[in-house]
């Protein structure tokens, strides 16, 4: 369990131990000032990547193009007032809201097993072991196949996602900001002390988002697992819903929209576009195929639900991760067979490490009796958890991040080397993974104490053996 789990409850007459610890609060991301800047800058980065990957950025094939052509076009306003491409439309906002409602409906009604999450609150054992519907794979197939079929039958035009990309991104940003405000305000609602510990209306606060600074807490997320009680006893988990569904599936629809537009304007779908589509669709499919794994991630067990996750899930992931597909619409690249094979090999190496490491840990932790899992060496911590010290987890403490990062290269390589912009993902994701490794290391050091030190002395490298 993470450092933030089960920290405080907002109750009438109750106290918050977060209040006593205010002076020692461990801020992240530069504290209130840093998070205020991030809240303004991150949406701008989404727009920058859009513009840099559009006519102002890639019209001329040059590494410096986005930096040479975009700033003047921004300064003289021509990049901002393109009548053919408005920044905001009510229609696009309605599409984003409708998409969220459709996915919420799928979350509530599609068939699938229920899974139990980890214990979120040690103060009330059992009370915060929540249940979640694991029907994401069904939502993925219904949404993606429905969209492709609808496009093939002429009922919908998937290239709408390409043409209306900018107002759709604005719609997603508006929704994520509105959601963050709602989440922060609802976390302040004080409930009667007699309310049962597992009642959805009782806010369980994440320690990392309970600093007392409204801006910081709204960014980090004050409440750990905000839920809305629906008729029939169904408890709608806002964070777990947003983590995978609307953003990840929306990302693939944006990619498909780019492929549809490339087909319409170019007459065929290039092999580079097919590689990007195949890799990214598989990545999202894999996330849903292993959906229960989300319940043990730091996002669910430790971080509160605020701007950081809401914006990341709903706006950042779909509208920046689809950048390579969008680039390939304006620059349809047909790759040589050798290049295709080299890129596929890169993807497979990354996948081998990523899936191998993640599956090995999942199998080990869930008590698999497979001989390869039984043969793993491990140390047993005082808390009872076992930490693997051989196999993938003996190579580096987050070797799974290395596999993920290698796969990130395979998503960018199909755009070749005409612009650095399409490689934004490799750079951003590298920074995210190093930062995530530091946060996880801090969490494990706090949780396991000297056992973690012992583990680190056996497995010395963090992500990349010999280098980091
Ligand atoms: P990990 O799957 O790396 O799990 C970390 C946790 O595993 C630790 O907190 C600890 O938890 C446990 N653990 C650590 N070392 C060991 C060990 N040696 N043996 C057994 N258990 C151990 O966490 P993440 O949630 O960060 O990553 C999951 C996957 O998601 C990764 O592959 C990552 O690349 C990917 N990811 C992708 C992102 C994207 O945007 N595409 C964003 C973030 C992650 P405990 O307290 O249980 O001991």
Is residue 316 lining ligand 1, measured as CB closer than 6 Å?
A: no
pLDDT at 62 over 60: no
CA 43 / ligand 1 centre spacing (Å): 27
- Tell me phi and psi for residue 25, to 5 degrees: -65, 130
The answer to whether 203 and 192 are in contact (CB under 8 A) is: no
Domain borders along the chain are 1-51+86-117+133-334, 335-468
pLDDT digits (tens, 9 = 90+) for 111-148: 999 988 877 776 666 667 788 999 999 999 999 999 99
Helix (H) / strand (E) element for 328: namely: helix 323-330
Confidence of residue 84 (pLDDT cuts 50, 70, 90): low
pLDDT at 17 over 90: no
pLDDT at 70 over 70: no
Dihedral of alpha carbons 404, 407, 411, 415, sign: positive
List, in sequence order, every beta strand (DSSP E) within 161-211. Answer: 204-205
Confidence of residue 5 (pLDDT cuts 50, 70, 90): very low
Is residue 176 lining ligand 1, measured as CB closer than 6 Å?
A: no
Confidence of residue 420 (pLDDT cuts 50, 70, 90): confident
Is residue 401 lining ligand 1, measured as CB closer than 6 Å?
A: yes
Task: Specify the pLDDT at position 298.
Answer: 83
Q: Whose CA is nearest to atom 39 of ligand 1?
A: 429
- Ligand 1 atom closest to the CA of 393, numbered from 1: 18
CA 48 / ligand 1 centre spacing (Å): 31
- Tell me phi and psi for residue 176, to 5 degrees: -70, -35
- CA atoms within 13 Å, Cβ hemisphere of 407: 21
CA 442 / ligand 1 centre spacing (Å): 13
Q: In terms of DSSP H, where are the helices of 366-449? A: 371-374, 392-395, 399-412, 424-448
Distance of CA 119 to the CA centre of its chain: 22
Q: How far is CA 362 from CA 85, 118, 203, 265, in A?
A: 46, 14, 30, 45
CA 357 / ligand 1 centre spacing (Å): 10
Mutate to test the pocket of ligand 1, among 248, 379, 400 (most ligand atoms within 8 A of CB): 400
Mutate to test the pocket of ligand 1, among 359, 361, 393, 432 (most ligand atoms within 8 A of CB): 361
Distance, in Å, from the CA atom of 320 to the CA atom of 312, rounded to the nearest integer, reads 10
Q: What count of other Cβ atoms lies within 10 Å of the Cβ of residue 37? A: 12
- CA atoms within 13 Å, Cβ hemisphere of 213: 19
Mutate to test the pocket of ligand 1, among 440, 445, 447, 462 (most ligand atoms within 8 A of CB): 440
Q: Whose CA is nearest to atom 2 of ligand 1?
A: 358
Whole-number mean pLDDT of the chain? 87
CA 400 / ligand 1 centre spacing (Å): 8
- CA atoms within 13 Å, Cβ hemisphere of 94: 3
Is residue 358 lining ligand 1, measured as CB closer than 6 Å?
A: yes
Rounded to 5 degrees, what angle do the CA atoms 239, 90, 260 make? 80
Mutate to test the pocket of ligand 1, among 284, 351, 404 (most ligand atoms within 8 A of CB): 404
Distance, in Å, from the CA atom of 24 to the CA atom of 22, rounded to the nearest integer, reads 5
Is residue 9 lining ligand 1, measured as CB closer than 6 Å?
A: no
The predicted model gives 233-244 an average pLDDT of: 91
What predicted TM-score, i.e. pTM, was given to this entire model?
0.87
């Amino acid at each position: 369990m993470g450092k933030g789990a089960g920290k405080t409850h907002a109750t009438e007459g109750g106290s918050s131990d977060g209040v006593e610890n205010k002076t020692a609060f461990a801020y992240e991301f530069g504290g209130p000032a840093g998070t205020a800047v991030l809240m303004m800058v991150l949406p701008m980065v989404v727009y920058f990547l859009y513009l840099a990957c559009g006519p102002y950025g890639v019209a001329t094939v040059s590494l410096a193009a986005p930096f040479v052509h975009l700033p003047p076009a921004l300064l003289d306003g021509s990049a901002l007032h393109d009548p053919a491409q408005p920044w905001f439309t009510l229609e696009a906002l309605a599409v984003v809201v409708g998409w969220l409602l459709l996915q919420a409906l799928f979350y509530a009604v599609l068939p699938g097993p229920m899974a139990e999450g980890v214990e979120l609150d040690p103060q009330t054992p059992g009370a915060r072991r929540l249940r979640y519907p694991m029907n994401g794979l069904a939502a993925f197939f219904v949404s993606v196949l429905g969209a492709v079929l609808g496009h093939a039958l002429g009922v919908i035009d998937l290239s709408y996602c390409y043409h209306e990309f900018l107002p759709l991104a604005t719609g997603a940003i508006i929704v994520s900001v509105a959601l963050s405000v709602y989440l922060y305000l609802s976390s302040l609602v004080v409930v009667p002390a007699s309310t049962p510990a597992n009642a959805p209306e009782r806010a369980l606060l994440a320690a990392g988002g309970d600093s007392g600074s409204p801006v910081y807490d709204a960014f980090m997320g004050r409440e750990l697992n905000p839920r809305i009680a629906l008729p029939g006893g169904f408890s709608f988990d806002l964070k777990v819903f947003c983590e995978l569904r609307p953003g990840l599936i929306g990302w693939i629809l944006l990619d498909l929209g780019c492929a549809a537009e490339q087909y319409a304007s170019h007459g065929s779908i290039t092999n580079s576009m097919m590689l990007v589509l195949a890799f990214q669709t598989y990545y999202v499919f894999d996330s849903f195929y292993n959906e229960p794994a989300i319940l043990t991630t730091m996002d669910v067990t430790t971080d509160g639900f605020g701007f950081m996750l809401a914006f990341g899930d709903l706006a950042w992931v779909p509208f920046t991760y689809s950048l390579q597909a969008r680039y390939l619409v304006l620059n349809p690249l047909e790759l040589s067979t050798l290049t295709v094979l080299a890129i596929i090999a890169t993807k497979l190496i990354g996948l081998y490490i990523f899936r191998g490491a993640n599956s090995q840990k999942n199998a080990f932790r869930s008590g698999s009796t497979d001989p390869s899992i039984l043969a793993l060496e491990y140390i047993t911590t005082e808390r009872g958890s076992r930490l693997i010290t051989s196999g993938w987890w003996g190579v580096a403490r987050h070797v799974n991040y290395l596999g993920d990062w290698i796969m990130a290269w395979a998503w960018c390589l199909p755009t070749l080397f005409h612009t650095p912009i399409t490689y934004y993902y490799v750079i951003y994701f590298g920074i995210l993974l190093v930062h995530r490794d530091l946060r996880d290391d801090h969490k494990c050091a706090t949780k396991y104490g000297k056992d973690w030190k012992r583990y680190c002395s056996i497995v010395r490298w963090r992500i990349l053996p010999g280098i980091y």
